[in-house]
Amino acid sequence: MLVFVLAGSLATCDGSAPVPDAASTSSQVAPVTAVSPVSPSASPTPPALPAIPPATNGAPSSTCENGWATPPAGTPPFTDPLTIIRRTTGVKGPLVVVDMRRFIGPESPPSDQGYLLMVERWYIKLYAKDDGAFQGRFLVEARRFGRGLAAVAPYDTNGFRSPDWIGFQFDSANTARKGYPGLPGRWSGIAYDFVRGGAGLKIPGLPDEVIGCLAGT
């Protein structure tokens, strides 16, 4: 099992942090079917852990064009996306990383702009050691102009499927944080189906060239 415990020192982010503050980078996708907020559940189920340790790399393929790899623990490619998750969700205390995959691929939808040709992405499955209710799967994205938490899915889901993955589009009139079914933490903005995209555009959150990077998760 690939399990790393991140110390609580990452819980705050000041001017010395290596990762710039950024809103969700999936704002080009318009919201679709509304996802209704709910009150937090009373008793969270302890996170299930894999019986076999997750793989740490995957070969390139037609749906994961550059392959994927688990960054070494303690290095910036490992800790930076966790800092973004902390900043966005406000989770405190140690984080236990069950699985992490870093992969690089094109924007969705494809773009001919140089700064959008390649997007760095992380898939992370984790839970908070001191908060049984905080457990989930996350997609973090990094572009030349910023980084952000793109989508979140319930901990006990698999792969890249609708309606598991939810994105949150910034809305200045909807800044209150709310809880959502199966998702860790509380979220602001307009919730939408990250897998399908929407508003008639049907732009998926991930392009076909990297969807396979989440195969087997």
Q: Coil, strand, or helix at residue 146?
A: strand
Q: What domain range is 200 assigned to? A: 4-12+21-40+58-214
Residue-wise pLDDT tens digits, 90-135: 899 999 999 999 999 998 765 555 556 789 999 999 999 999 899 9
Residue-wise pLDDT tens digits, 2-49: 555 544 333 333 333 333 333 333 333 333 334 445 434 445 788 999
CA gap 33, 67 in Å, rounded: 32
* Domain count along the chain: 1
Q: Does residue 79 surpass a pLDDT of 90? A: yes
Q: How buried is 134 (Cβ within 10 angstroms: 0-12 exposed, 13-18 middle, 19+ buried)?
A: buried
Report yes or no on 119 lying in a domain.
yes
Report yes or no on 45 lying in a domain.
no
For the full predicted model, state whether its pTM sits above 0.95. Answer: no
pLDDT confidence of residue 105: 93
Q: Nearest-5° angle of CA 38, CA 40, CA 45?
A: 125
Residue-wise pLDDT tens digits, 134-151: 999 999 999 888 899 999
CA gap 20, 82 in Å, rounded: 13
- Find tokens 């900043």 and name the residue: 87
Give me the long-range contacts of 39-48 (CB less than 8 A, separation at least 24).
39/179, 40/133, 40/179, 41/133, 44/132, 44/133, 44/135, 45/156, 46/132, 47/98, 47/127, 47/132, 47/135, 47/155, 48/155, 48/156
pLDDT confidence of residue 114: 53
Averaged pLDDT for residues 178-200 = 83
CA gap 153, 137 in Å, rounded: 5
Report yes or no on 63 lying in a domain.
yes
Report yes or no on 197 lying in a domain.
yes
Report yes or no on 47 lying in a domain.
no
pLDDT confidence of residue 169: 84
Report yes or no on 30 lying in a domain.
yes
Report yes or no on 108 lying in a domain.
yes
CA gap 95, 62 in Å, rounded: 33
What letter represents residue 162's amino acid?
S
Report yes or no on 46 lying in a domain.
no
